[in-house]
Amino acid sequence: MTDRKTIAIFGAGTGLGASVARRYGKAGFRVALVARNAQSLDQRVSELSADGIDAAAFPGDLNEIDAIAALVGKIEGKSGPIHTAVFAPVGSFRMLPAVDLTAASLKELVNILTLAPVEVVRAVLPGMLARGNGAIIVADGLSAVTPMAGMSGPGPAFAATRNYILGLHEEIKARGVFAGMLHIGAMIDNSTGLRVAAANGLPLDDPRLTTIDPDVLAEEIWSMAADRSRAESILPASHYSH
């Protein structure tokens, strides 16, 4: 192994994950991509390799909480210690009115949106603390911060994760490790979520399909981890209101 740093992207899709991989890869990071679809991951790796980026695929289902520690061990065994972990689950999570939310539907969302990032942190954090450097960033939706009528479901799970990550940030920031949140208040261009929403009949001019360039989000993740002046960020900023 060289002394090059490694970024692991948990949820490496065609939108945000792809942009984060390019941003860090072009800065010299070794890139580890995690998602369920092995064929799609291989395509991402080929694209990155064509750009001269050292990338490797690690197929895995982040819903399988008990398998996350072993997955992280596999990544570090092949690609080296994880310096930066970005958790950005791929997919389109069903929005429900709060009056229709059930324990069963929430439990499924909590598994991937709260329990999975907690377990990722538990797997990567000891090494980061021992080395005295590293960064953990979770990307989620704006409903983590601003409850929205008719758009419950992921919101409660996002909010729990936000509480955890911001508390973690305060505990570890003096030890050289950063933890932060990026809340996204728009659909991400070229993402699975956008494609699913459009396929389900939302017209492209629907305000719920306001989009944002994933390269902008990737640059914000880079900036947050580099300057460490803010533990959370909201993009687009104009979408935030109390």
Name the H helices within the chain. 16-25, 38-50, 68-79, 103-110, 116-131, 154-172, 192-199, 214-227
Q: How far apart are the first and last CA of the chain?
A: 47
> 1 near 80, Cβ under 8 Å?
yes
Asked if residue 75 is part of any domain, the answer here is: yes
Q: Please, what sign has the CA dihedral across residues 150, 186, 36, 117?
A: negative
The confidence score (pLDDT) of residue 205 equals: 58
Output the domain CATH number for residue 225: 3.40.50.720
Q: Please, what sign has the CA dihedral across residues 146, 144, 238, 100?
A: negative
DSSP character at residue 51: T
List Cα–Cα distances, 6 to 2, 96, 210, in angstroms. 10, 37, 32
Can you give the pLDDT of all 242 residues of the chain as single tens digits? 457 999 999 999 889 999 999 999 999 999 999 999 999 999 999 999 999 999 999 999 999 999 999 999 999 999 999 999 999 987 667 778 899 999 999 999 999 999 999 999 999 999 999 999 999 999 998 989 998 888 788 999 999 999 999 999 999 999 999 999 999 987 777 655 545 555 555 555 555 568 888 999 999 999 999 999 999 999 988 654 43
Asked if residue 208 is part of any domain, the answer here is: yes
The confidence score (pLDDT) of residue 206 equals: 55
Structural domain boundaries, residue 41:
6-233
Q: Which residues on adjacent β-strands are paired with residue 179?
A: 136
**Model pTM score:** 0.91
> 88 near 20, Cβ under 8 Å?
yes
The confidence score (pLDDT) of residue 136 equals: 98
> 53 near 25, Cβ under 8 Å?
yes
* Domains identified in the chain, total number: 1
The confidence score (pLDDT) of residue 158 equals: 94
The confidence score (pLDDT) of residue 217 equals: 96
Asked if residue 242 is part of any domain, the answer here is: no
The confidence score (pLDDT) of residue 211 equals: 81
CA 26 – CA 21 distance, rounded (Å)? 8
CA 25 – CA 23 distance, rounded (Å)? 6
Asked if residue 86 is part of any domain, the answer here is: yes
Asked if residue 167 is part of any domain, the answer here is: yes
Asked if residue 238 is part of any domain, the answer here is: no
Quickly count: other Cβ atoms within 10 Å of residue 52's Cβ.
8
Asked if residue 40 is part of any domain, the answer here is: yes
